[in-house]
Amino acid sequence: MKIIYRSRTDHKRQAGGGSEPVLQLSWNNWDDYGHKTSLVAHLQLVDGERQLDPIKILVAGKSFTANYFEKLIESGWDGVFPPPDTHYISNPSGITFYEELIAIAGQDAALGAAETLHDASLLARVRDNEEALGLIALSEFRSSLLRERGSQRAFNEGWKLFIGEDSTVEDFGFAFQDRDGTIQTILFEFGSESLLPHDVSLLIGPNGVGKSQLLYQFVEHWLQAGGPPDTGFEAAPSFGRLIAVSYSPFERLRVDTEGLKLADRAVYQYFGLRGRNGPRTTLSLDHAREAAVQSLISCARDDRRFSGIKAWSEKLWTLHQVLGEAIQFDFATVEVPATTNRETFQVALQEYHSPLVEIPDVDSDGKAITRRFVRIDHDTAGNLNLEAVKRHAKIVSGVSLFRNGQILEMSSGQRLFSYLVINLLGSIRRNSLVIIDEPELFLHPTLELALVTMLKSILAQYDSKAIVATHSLVLVREVPRDCVHVFEHTDEGLFIKRPPFQTFGGDIQRISTYVFGDNSVSKPFERWIEEASKAVGGRKELLARFAPEDLNEELLIELGDEVGIDDPAA
Q: What is the chain's mean pLDDT, rounded?
A: 89
Angle subtended by helix axes 524-536 and 553-563, to nearest 10: 50
Cβ atoms of 183 and 175 closer than 8 Å: yes
Q: What's the DSSP call for residue 454?
A: H
The alpha carbons of the chain give a radius of gyration, in whole angstroms, of 28
Non-local (6+) Cβ contacts of 473 within 8 A are 508, 511, 512, 515
CA–CA gap between residue 369 and residue 24 (Å, rounded): 51
CA–CA gap between residue 21 and residue 99 (Å, rounded): 15
- pLDDT tens digits, residue range 405-418? 999 999 988 999 99
For domain 172-327+410-509, which architecture applies? 3-Layer(aba) Sandwich (3.40)
- pLDDT tens digits, residue range 436-476? 999 988 888 888 889 999 999 999 888 899 999 999 999 99
Closest CA to 337 of 366, 369, 368, 289: 369
What's the pLDDT at 461? 87
Burial 317-339 (b: 16+ CB within 10 A, else e): ebbbebbeebbebbbbbbbbeee
CA–CA gap between residue 67 and residue 62 (Å, rounded): 9
CA–CA gap between residue 153 and residue 140 (Å, rounded): 17
Angstrom distances, CA of residue 486 to CA of 274, 471, 481, 499: 28, 10, 10, 7
Closest CA to 300 of 286, 282, 312: 312
Q: What's the DSSP call for residue 80?
A: B
Cis previous bond, 228, omega within 30: no
- Written as one letter, the residue type at 509 is Q
Cβ atoms of 257 and 219 closer than 8 Å: no
CA–CA gap between residue 196 and residue 239 (Å, rounded): 21
- The 10 Å Cβ neighbour count of residue 540 is 15
* CA angle at 36 for the pair 30 and 42, rounded to the nearest 5°: 65
- Written as one letter, the residue type at 162 is F
Cβ atoms of 188 and 233 closer than 8 Å: no
Parts of the chain belonging to CATH 3.40.50? 172-327+410-509
Non-local (6+) Cβ contacts of 287 within 8 A are 272, 273, 274, 275
Element (H, E) at 150: helix 149-157
- Written as one letter, the residue type at 103 is A
Question: How many Å separate Cα 107 from the centre of its chain?
Answer: 27
Task: Render each residue's pLDDT in the chain as its tens digit; 570 residues.
Answer: 999 999 988 765 444 446 789 999 999 989 888 899 999 999 998 878 888 999 999 999 999 999 999 999 999 999 999 999 999 999 999 998 998 898 888 889 999 999 999 999 999 999 999 999 999 999 999 999 998 988 999 999 999 998 887 777 889 999 999 999 999 999 999 988 888 889 999 999 988 899 999 999 999 999 999 889 999 999 888 898 999 999 988 888 999 999 898 888 889 999 999 999 888 999 999 999 999 999 999 999 999 888 777 666 689 999 999 999 999 999 999 999 999 988 899 876 655 578 999 999 888 888 999 999 999 998 888 889 999 999 999 988 999 999 999 999 999 889 999 999 999 999 998 889 999 999 988 888 888 889 999 999 999 888 899 999 999 999 999 999 999 999 998 889 999 999 999 999 998 888 988 888 765 455 677 778 888 889 988 888 888 888 888 877 777 777 764 444 444 333
What's the pLDDT at 349? 62
Phi, psi of 135 (to 5 degrees): -70, -35
CA–CA gap between residue 308 and residue 52 (Å, rounded): 14
